[in-house]
Structures are given as structure tokens and as C-alpha cells.
Homo-oligomer: A and B are copies of this chain.
Amino acid sequence: MSETLEKPLTASFETFLGYQLRRLSAAAMADLADALAEEGLSPTLATVLLIIETNPGETQARIGRALSIKRANIAPMIAKLEEEGLIRKSGTDGRSFALYCTAKGTATARRAEKVMRARERKVFGALSSEETKLFLSMIERARSAL
């Protein structure tokens, strides 16, 4: 255990918000994925389930647009949530379905939301509410520049 401290490597992108953001986002995602594994959900699947629970009767096209998930990619997610008995489709339109959580899906969504909230507190709990507000406003400004 000589524990030689490793000389840190330098790089210009270390000072880039884009890079640091990406690193933090990846680490937080992995942490959340671990925590959600006990519910059998990935972070993305959890957001899909939660938004259906909060907005019953919406179509998967609208849900996809709200989460920036393409139709082609959300189709198998919806199929998986249905297979697992978490949501059900109720044909209304002939070419689309109204989506609803089952009782099991609602219970899972509530637990997943608790997990997400707990991780949010764990990672960002040290920030003041002032800082949190500023953080969100900066994210919003950055997104509007894209």
C-alpha cells in the first residue's frame, strides 16, 4: 500500500462546462441506475412510467416529444412497460393509444419517484435553494442556445 499519488493529467477541456457537465451527468446517471435497479427500471424507463402516471391518457408520441425520445425508440419501452404489467394501452384513435398506469404501475412509479428524489437530495442536497434556482436558470439558458 505505498499509495503513490498519481500525477494528474492536464487538458484544456477540464475547464469546459460542457465536459464537466457530461462527467457529472454520467456519474449521477450511473448512481441513479443502481438505485432504480431494484424496481427493474432504468432511469429513462422510470421517467416514461412517471410521466404516464402524472399524465394519464396521453399517447406515446406526445410522451416521446415531452422527453425528447424518438418514436422509434419509445415503442419498445412502452412495450416493455406493458409486458411487465405497469401500464396498459386503451385504443381510442385507431392509429394511437391512450396510455394508463395499472395499479402495479402506479405503485412502482411512486417508489421510483421516491428513489429519484432521494438521489437528487444526495447529489445536490448541499446546494442552497438560491443556488439550485440559479443552476436551473443557467441550464435553461444553455439549452436555449442549442
Q: Which B residues are in CB contact (< 8 Å) with A124?
A: 17-18, 142, 145
A132 to B135, CA, bound (A): 10
Q: Which B residues are in CB contact (< 8 Å) with A55?
A: 9-11
**A22 contacts B28, CB within 8 Å?**
yes
A25 to B140, CA, bound (A): 12
A66 to B29, CA, bound (A): 19
A123 to B22, CA, bound (A): 13
Q: How far is the CB of A127 from chain B (nearest CB, A)?
A: 6
Q: Give the interface size bracket for A toward B.
A: 35 or more
**A63 contacts B145, CB within 8 Å?**
no
**A141 contacts B127, CB within 8 Å?**
yes
Q: Which of A73-81, A82-90, A113-121 contacts B (4 or more CB under 8 A)?
A: A113-121
Known: A120-B18, A131-B138. A146 touches B28 (CB 8 A): yes
Confirm or deny: A5 has a beta carbon within 8 angstroms of a beta carbon on chain B. Answer: no
Besides the known contacts A6-B65, A22-B29, 14 further A-B residue pairs in the complex with CB atoms under 8 A apart: A9-B54, A9-B58, A11-B47, A11-B51, A11-B66, A12-B117, A13-B116, A22-B43, A27-B68, A28-B146, A123-B146, A124-B142, A124-B145, A126-B142
Residues of A within 8 A of B (CB): 6, 8-13, 15-29, 31-32, 43, 47, 50-51, 54-55, 58, 62-63, 65-66, 68, 113, 116-117, 119-120, 122-127, 131-132, 134-136, 138-143, 145-146
